[in-house]
A and B are shown apart, each in its own frame.
Chain A
Amino acid sequence: MAELDDIIHQPLRLRIMAALNALPSGVGLEFAKLKKLTGATDGNLGAHIETLSKAGYVAVEKAFVGKKPQTTVTATAAGRGAFARHVALLQEIIAAAGGR
């Protein structure tokens, strides 16, 4: 059985990837919305997005809407692939134990 992806498996990063992966390809989420959907705090979310971004799993785009800075996070193709593999592996683990 393949090894779990440690970058994705951390609980908050898993929630971030799940949220971004639920959107159509190329569509992202604003930082504030992502924070609300994942139940994270500002600092926590920023740090984990940074980790995912360094791994190439998400793209971060910063822009100004009027005078307000807006950060949008989008899952990359590599991120979507890694997330799909991770979910498949979780399902495999459950199936191997005879569950679900």
Chain B
Amino acid sequence: MIDSQQASAALDDINDVVQRVRQSRIYQIASLIVVMWGVLVFAAYIAIYIWPRQGYMIWTIINLLGLVISVTMGVFINRRSGTPRFPIRALTTFLLIVAFGVFCSVVLGHFGSRQMTVFWALYGMLFYAIAGLWFGYAFIVIAMCTTALTLIGYYYAGAAFLLWMAVAHGGGLIVGGLWMRRI
């Protein structure tokens, strides 16, 4: 038989492993969604570079597409983990974030297309950073890198800004998501 100190150490060990497994599963699931958004965002910047007048429509389509895929993935993931629920809280969170972003960027601020692009990229990364405080440092790393690259592009990329953003924002999410799967 063991004493209470050894039992306590064993329980601490168990808790440590459980925390690691939980974080690993969060990263596994989140990485799929992060990579998916990375691909969509990359495609959106390239499309806007080719058809600059269609920016609003392209972003609307991309966001709706991303939302539908994210919700579908959420339903699938919930089902696999034995909780067949519609991810209503995640969907509501996303819609509130978008609504507030639209209010700030369209109603309050009258941004030009370059400012609008930077605003949405930084605004999105703000929530990655917040997610990082709750779910793991990988989100913070992705947010900080993408934010830094976005600001560099805003000031220095000139006419190649959208191409820069495709790589920095879209590519950053793809690389970050793939990295998440390895940690």
Once the chains bind, are B17 and A94 in contact (CB under 8 Å)? no
Count of residues in B whose CB is under 8 Å from the partner chain: 20
Nearest Cβ on chain A to B84's Cβ, whole angstroms = 12
Query: Measured between C-beta atoms, what is the minimum distance from A63 to chain B in Å?
Result: 18
- Among the 9-residue stretches A11-19, A41-49, A50-58, A65-73, the one with 4 or more Cβ atoms under 8 Å from chain B is A11-19
Query: B93 near A: Cβ within 8 Å?
Result: no
Residues of A within 8 A of B (CB-CB), count: 28
| In the complex, B85 has a CB within 8 A of chain A | no
Interface set, chain B 1-31, CB cutoff 8 A to A: 1-4, 7-8, 10-11, 13-14, 17-18, 20-22, 24-25
Q: Are A97 and B20 in contact (CB under 8 A)?
A: no
Chain A binding surface, main DSSP class: helix
Q: Is A35 an interface residue (CB 8 A)?
A: no
Given A24-B81, A27-B81, answer yes or no on A94-B21 (Cβ-Cβ < 8 Å): no
- Whether A87 sits at the interface, judged by CB under 8 Å, is yes
In the complex, the answer to whether A22 meets B11 with C-beta atoms within 8 Å is no
